[in-house]
Amino acid sequence: MSSQHPLPAGRWLVVGAAGQLGTDLVRLLPDNRAVGVDLPEIDITEPASVAATVKSVRPSVIVNAAAYTAVDAAESDPDAAWAVNAVGPALLAEASAEIGAALVHISTDYVFGGDGAEPYGVDAPTEPRTVYGRTKLAGEQRVRDLLTEHYLVRTAWLYGATGTNFVKTMARLERERDTIQVVSDQHGSPTWSTDLARGLLSLVGSGVPYGTYHCTNGGATTWYGFARAVFEELGADQDRVRPCSTGQYPRPAPRPAYSVLSDRTWRAANLAPLPPWREALATAFAEHGAELRS
């Protein structure tokens, strides 16, 4: 958080505080400025629960870091995904409008089709191919329709010290298997949740115009390249990671072949870009190696 961009006065209500991003946001915010809530304290699919929590806390900023992120499960349970990813953001936007709070809503690279060849800009056509992507896009649209004072921030390939994620899965598989196969034909930008949290604090404190921004660690790789980097951080032989194609591992929800997000709008607002993804991974292991290896 830059001293040049002091945070606006008042409390922050962090919804989804038990998750990767929410945990980091609460940790990084100044003492007595953050109120973190998650299930069962708040159910963002229930109007009464959202209204009661927001009226009780009366924050100046609400961050919606809650989401239904089980991409494959969403294909067979679209109603649950819709409730959390579309209805929830709408209820939070309405509650924000009622008390005059700004809303920071977190979205995803999955709102894009994934067949591009250049980083997606904030205004690129959205063509979600999955239930998860379609429900997240619906959440974006509802926030835009209901609240002017919002920052909509898309990110990708998130990992952190809390919860389950790709990095922790690779660390577990390194212990359990001699070799592993990881897809080498899907491209994206691994993003450390602590860096994203710092980026959100900078965004809100900067006073830049409300709107849509992309925030990921810099550069891009494949899941295969990401896995090899994790093995390197673990001190393991990277050649134990073997490349394979998406077609060899069909999933209920199709994964985007290319979902790199452009930070052009972020930079144009004079916001500092996040560090390169490989540098961020090394820092994450240096600071939270025990948790990432668990």
Does 235 reside within a domain?
Answer: no
CATH (domain of 71): 3.40.50.720
Catalytic residue list contains 159: no
Contacts of 139 (CB under 8 A, 6+ apart): 85, 86, 88, 89, 90, 105, 107
Residue 22 belongs to some domain of the structure: yes
Q: Confirm whether 35 is domain-assigned.
A: yes
Q: Is residue 250 part of a domain?
A: no
> In the chain, how many domains are there?
1
Alpha-carbon span 10 to 101, nearest angstrom: 10
Phi-psi domain of 207 (left: phi exceeds 0; alpha: psi -120 through 50; beta: other): left
Long-range contact pairs involving 95-99 (C-beta distance under 8 Å, separation at least 24): 95/50, 95/51, 95/54, 95/55, 95/62, 96/54, 96/62, 96/147, 96/149, 96/150, 97/146, 97/147, 97/149, 98/51, 98/54, 99/54, 99/55, 99/58, 99/59
- pTM score > 0.75 for this model? yes
Task: Give the pLDDT of residue 249.
Answer: 87
Q: Above pLDDT 90, what percent of the chain?
A: 95
State the DSSP string of 15-38.
ETTTSHHHHHHHHHSPTTTEEEE-
On whether residue 140 sits in a domain, the answer given is yes
Please report the pLDDT score of residue 5 as a whole number: 61
Which domain range does residue 31 map to?
Answer: 12-165+191-218+260-274
Strand, coil or helix: what is 280?
helix
* Triad 200, 148, 34: Cα angle to 5°: 35
Quote the tokens at residue 209: 């115009």
Q: How far is Cα 273 from Cα 293, in angstroms, rounded to an integer?
A: 27
Specify whether the CB–CB gap between 188 and 109 falls below 8 A: yes
Cβ-contact 192, 217 below 8 angstroms: yes
In a domain, 238, yes or no: no
Helix (H) or strand (E) holding 45: none
Q: Classify residue 90: in a domain, yes or no.
A: yes
173 inside domain = no
Q: Split the chain (294 residues) into runs of 10 and give each run's mean pLDDT.
A: 61 97 96 93 98 97 97 98 98 98 98 96 97 98 98 98 96 98 98 98 96 98 98 98 95 96 98 98 98 95
Active-site entry in 68, 110, 120, 132: 132
Stated length of the chain: 294
Contacts of 286 (CB under 8 A, 6+ apart): none
